[in-house]
Amino acid sequence: MTETPALHALWPAPLADGAVHATVTVPGSKSVTNRALVLAAIAAEPGWVRRPLRSRDSQLMADALRALGVGIEETVSSSSAGDGAGGEAWRIIPAALHGPTTVDVGNAGTVMRFLPPVATLADGDIRFDGDRRSYERPLGQVITALRTLGARIDDDGRGALPMTVQGGGALEGGTVEIDASNSSQFVSALLLSAPRFNQGIEVRHTGATLPSMPHIRMTVDMLRMAGAQVDTPESGGEKNVWRVAPSALLGRDLVVEPDLSNAQPFLAAAMITGGTVTIPDWPEHTTQPGDMLREIFTAMGGSCELTDAGLVFTGTGRITGIDADLSEVGELTPGIAAVAALADSPSTLRGVAHLRLHETDRLAALTAEINGLGGDVTETADGLHIRPRPLHGGTFHTYDDHRMATAGAVIGLAVKGVRIENVATTAKTLPDFPKMWTDMLTGAGA
C-alpha cells in the first residue's frame, strides 16, 4: 500500500495562561461508528448511522465496506425519531459482498480485525493491506480462528498483514478457542459477523487476561440491539465464553454517542488549570470505557456532575497521584500518564502490558517522551510508575499515534516550550484537534 509520509512539522503546544472555561463538543465514538458500520453492512435491510465519526479510521472502514459492495450514502438529515439527532447521517444499504478487491486498513485495529470475518462472507478474493505498522500488530489469533471456522486465508505463514481472504460467500462457523490477551478486538471481530455464519459461533477465550472488557460489552450490546441472540458470561453463561446464534440482523437507526475517550484531553485541561469544561451529550448509561474518566479523574483531584448541559468537569489545579488498574480502559493510559506527570505525588498505572502492541509501543513511547521533558517514568512489566518532576520544554514525538499527540498537548498546557511532532496524527479519531484545543483555551463555545 502507499504509505502516507510522516509529518515531521512541530506544533507548538499552547501554554494555558489561566483557568480553562469552555464547552467542548466531542465528535462521535470511533468504536461505536465502526461497529455500527459492520453490523449495518451485514444486516438484512437498510439502516442509518447518525452523527458518525468522520476520521481516518471510520473513513477507512466505510471505504472498505464500499469496496466489498455495500452502499453507503452520506447525507444531512433530520431524525425520523424526533430526538434531535439531525445532522450528518450515513444510510447503509446492504448488498451481496464480492471481490476481488483490496482493503486498505491503514493502521486501524478495528478495520484490520473486524473486516476479515466479513470478507469470508463475500464471493471472491479480498486482499488486506495497510500502513507499515499494521504488519507488526497482532492478527494471528483472528486468522487461526477463522481457519478453524472454515475460512481460507493466504498469509504466507506470517499470521499478520498483508493477507488475502478467499471469500466463499458463507462461513460454516461453530466453536473456536482464541487467546485474546493481546486485544479484546479479537473477540469482537468474531462476534460481529457471527449472526451470518451458518452455525453462528461459540468463542472460548483461553488466555490468562482479557483487556478492555467494556469494548466486548459494547459489541454484545450493539449485536443485541440489531436483533442478535448473544449469551455471555454476564448473562449467566460460562466464564470467558460468548455464543451468538445465526440470524438475520435488523437495519437500525442508530445515533452515535460522543467519543468519551476523546473527551479525555479536554477534561484533563480542566484538571490541570483549575477550570471547568463541559462535554455536551455525555450519556447517562454507556459501554464506552471513556466513561471511567469520571471516576479516575475524580480520584486525581477533580469533580464532575452529569447535568442537562452534559458532563461538567471541574479541577482545582492540584493533581493527586493514583494507583490504578487500567486493564479495562487501556486506551486512556496516555492521557492519564500525562496528567500524572504533573501531579504532586507518584502514580502507578497497572494492567496495560497489551499497550505495547497498539498503534505504537505506548509504554515505551510514554516513558521516552515524558523523560525527554525531564520526567521520571519507569516502565514496569504491565504498566508505568510515574514520579513527578519539574518538566521543561522540548519535542514530544508521537510515533504516528493519536493518543500520544493529545498526551503531549496536555503536558504542554503546564510546561512552556513543548512542541508536538506530527499533531496531524490526531485525525485518526479526532479531526481538527488543534483548532478544538485552541478554541477551548480561548473559551469559544463556553
Whose CA is closest to 329, among 363, 310, 304, 354?
354
Check residue 16 and give its pLDDT.
97
Check residue 85 and give its pLDDT.
52
Each residue's pLDDT tens digit, 192-251 = 999 999 999 999 999 989 988 999 999 999 999 999 999 999 888 799 999 999 999 999
Report the C-alpha gap between 400 and 8 in whole angstroms. Answer: 10
Check residue 86 and give its pLDDT.
56
**SS3 of 298, please?**
helix
Each residue's pLDDT tens digit, 255-277 = 999 999 999 999 999 999 999 99
What stretches of 313-415 show up as alpha helix (H) in DSSP?
Answer: 333-340, 362-372, 402-414
Burial grade of 115 (CB within 10 A; 0-12, 13-18, 19 or more) = buried
The DSSP string of 248-274 is PPP--EEEPPB-SGGGHHHHHHHHHHT
DSSP one-letter code for 98: B
**SS3 of 35, please?**
helix
What does the block give as the cell for 269?
485541561
Sheet (strand 418-421) strand order: 10-12, 418-421, 394-396
Check residue 357 and give its pLDDT.
80
Check residue 4 and give its pLDDT.
39
Task: Confirm if 168 and 201 have CB atoms less than 8 A apart.
Answer: no
* Distance, C-alpha 96 to centroid of its chain: 28
Which candidate in 331, 359, 369, 421 is catalytic?
A: 331
Check residue 237 and give its pLDDT.
79
Check residue 329 and give its pLDDT.
94
Other C-beta atoms lying within 10 Å of the C-beta of residue 288: 23
Each residue's pLDDT tens digit, 272-322 = 999 999 999 999 999 999 999 999 999 999 999 999 999 999 999 899 999
Sheet (strand 376-379) strand order: 323-325, 347-350, 384-387, 376-379
Does the annotation mark 202 as catalytic?
Answer: no
State which amino acid sits at residue 432.
Answer: D
Cis ω for the linkage preceding 162 (within 30 of 0): yes
Check residue 444 and give its pLDDT.
65
What does the block give as the cell for 67?
469496496
Whose CA is closest to 38, among 219, 161, 169?
219
Angle between helices 109-119 and 56-67 (to 10 degrees): 20
Task: Confirm if 433 and 408 have CB atoms less than 8 A apart.
Answer: no
Q: Which residues of the chain have pLDDT under 70?
A: 1-8, 77-86, 444-446
